Amino acid sequence: MRKKLIAGNWKMNKSLSEAKVLMNEIKSAVSKEVASKVDVVVCPPFISLSAAAEIFVGSGIEFGAQNIHYKDDGAFTGEISASMLRDLGCEYVILGHSERRQYFHETNHLINFKVIKALEKGLTPILCVGETLEQREQGIEVKIVDEQVTMCLKDVCAMDMQRVVIAYEPVWAIGTGKTASPEQADGMHMEIRKSLENLYNATVAGSTRILYGGSMNDKNAKELLGKQNIDGGLIGGAALKADSLLKIIEAGL
Ligand code: 13P
């Protein structure tokens, strides 16, 4: 049985003081009982992670970062390492988000290094995959996503896969208000399970959590989360309001 996971990706939103307000609102909205039934993860910008550690302690809510560097430490100006995040009590890290692929030129190869480093340091990677509109129109979306899964998970063993979460985020659905239909999302999640079965085995394919991301909100969450292969959501805009985040979490109960 795969436990549902609802993660909020705040992207580059909220100053530290604004983040503290929102995190306290989320803490008040999400009871410990709810947080014990669904994994709830908040991923604010780096500067708010230590506040997240203080605010969420004992709440059952976990927090994550939105990126790491793939090296342990060294002369990489502006970067943050996996160990630094672990030291803060960070459990999760979003890797390979399409915005990082698009604006920061991250490749499957680079993302693979990051996944390996995250696992080595004890972080749970939320590995993002997804096709662009152009790729979907060309009918190559399954091939693209299979390639992303295969390349980003290179050298990750079956045992480590127990800690990997995959997020299917079709690029055309992110921040556009256009959601993949529950059938489209479920279908792609099934394809991802096929890729995992080819790479590993049926157990890994059946136990890996696959989240959907792309304009998920309190209106469409129930139908999406009701699908057999959708194990949660990676939420952008709708995670910036405690009440809509709570409704999405409740839809996953
Ligand atoms: P939106 O929910 O704002 O479409 O963003 C989705 C996303 O990119 C989450 O990582």
- pLDDT tens string 145-182: 999 999 999 999 999 999 999 999 999 999 888 888 99
Give the class (CATH, top level) of 5-251.
Answer: alpha beta
- Of the chain, the percentage scoring pLDDT greater than 90 comes to 96
The preferred substitution site among 14, 99, 174, 178 for testing ligand 1, maximizing ligand atoms within 8 Å of CB, is: 174
What are the boundaries of each domain within the chain? 5-251
Strand, helix or coil for residue 19: helix
Tokens of 184: 């489209």
Query: Is 97 annotated as catalytic?
Result: yes
Q: What is the DSSP string of 76-136?
A: -TT---HHHHHHTT--EEEES-HHHHHHS---HHHHHHHHHHHHHTT-EEEEEE---HHHH
CA distance linking residue 115 with residue 51, whole number of Å: 25
| pLDDT tier, 1 (very low <50, low <70, confident <90, very high otherwise) | confident
Question: Is the CB of residue 130 below 6 angstroms from any atom belonging to ligand 1?
Answer: no
| pLDDT tier, 205 (very low <50, low <70, confident <90, very high otherwise) | very high
CA distance linking residue 121 with residue 80, whole number of Å: 13
- pLDDT tens string 32-59: 999 999 999 999 999 999 999 999 999 9
For residues 71-76, give the mean pLDDT. Answer: 98
| pLDDT tier, 202 (very low <50, low <70, confident <90, very high otherwise) | very high
Strand, helix or coil for residue 144: helix
Catalytic residue among 99, 169, 191, 250: 169
3-state secondary structure string, 175-243? Answer: CCCCCCCHHHHHHHHHHHHHHHHHHCCHHHHHHCEEEECCCCCCCCHHHHHCCCCCCEEEECHHHHCHH
Strand, helix or coil for residue 75: coil
Asked if residue 218 has pLDDT above 90, the reply is yes
Q: Residue 182 has what pLDDT?
A: 96
169, 128 in Cβ contact below 8 A?
A: yes
Burial (CB count within 10 angstroms: exposed 0-12, middle 13-18, buried 19+), residue 233: buried
Asked if residue 70 has pLDDT above 90, the reply is yes
